[in-house]
Amino acid sequence: MKQAESDKQRVGRFALFLTFSRISLSSFGGALFWARRGLVEQKRWLTEREFVDLLTVGQLLPGPNVLNLTVLVGYRFAGWTGAAAAVAGYLGWPCLVVIGMGVLYQHYGSLQQVQQALAGMSSVAAGLLLATVIKLAIVLPRRWRPWLFGILTFVGVGVMRWPLLWVMGALAPFAVATAWKEKE
């Protein structure tokens, strides 16, 4: 069995801490874009496919997807202490930033300039999310059924404003049955 490129390298705990600190401090509007950029493009610790695979596992686990990814990457390269270092980097600094921003917002949040800046940041976050979805979709197999379920979910939740749990509850059995049928 051929060993993946990223399995051959050893990444230190301090490097994990610094990398995930940088990811979380950069990630206004969501860390997925920055995690992919940092781990795949900049550090080259993971391939595109490995990133998608680890993210998929992270989405199946309870809790925030990128935090789960942080634990998985930290553990993969440096064991439990690596996972702890990655999580400390990912959560430590942002916790302090959020506390500081909360104090500032409490004093200056009603100013019109602050409200306009926050509205602009939400547009940037939406663009980053869309860019990440496109980059992740490029490495996935080309089949129309997963796209159909994605579009149906978007229409149900985003357009029709139905509760996500109901939409997923209705579509999930069909999606699983379709995937199972394709495997046969």
Domain ranges of the chain: 5-140, 142-184
- Reply yes or no on whether the pLDDT at 126 is more than 60: yes
d(CA 109, CA 113): 9
Angle at alpha carbon of residue 43, lines to 40 and 46, rounded to 5°: 40
- Reply yes or no on whether the pLDDT at 180 is more than 70: yes
d(CA 125, CA 74): 26
Q: Which two tokens stand for residue 124?
A: 């940037």
Note the pLDDT of residue 136.
78
d(CA 112, CA 83): 42
Note the pLDDT of residue 86.
97
Note the pLDDT of residue 123.
86
Note the pLDDT of residue 53.
93
Angle at alpha carbon of residue 133, lines to 130 and 139, rounded to 5°: 150
> Confidence class of residue 76 from pLDDT cuts 50, 70 and 90?
very high
Q: What is the b/e burial string over 47-75, where b = at least 16 CB atoms within 10 angstroms of the residue's CB?
A: eeebbbebbeebeeeeeebbbbbbbbbbb
The structure's pTM equals 0.58
Q: What is the b/e burial string over 25-38, where b = at least 16 CB atoms within 10 angstroms of the residue's CB?
A: eebebebbbbbbbb
Q: Which two tokens stand for residue 25?
A: 């401090």
- Report yes or no: 101 and 114 within 8 Å, Cβ to Cβ: no
**pLDDT tens digits for range 143-167:** 778 788 888 988 998 889 999 899 9
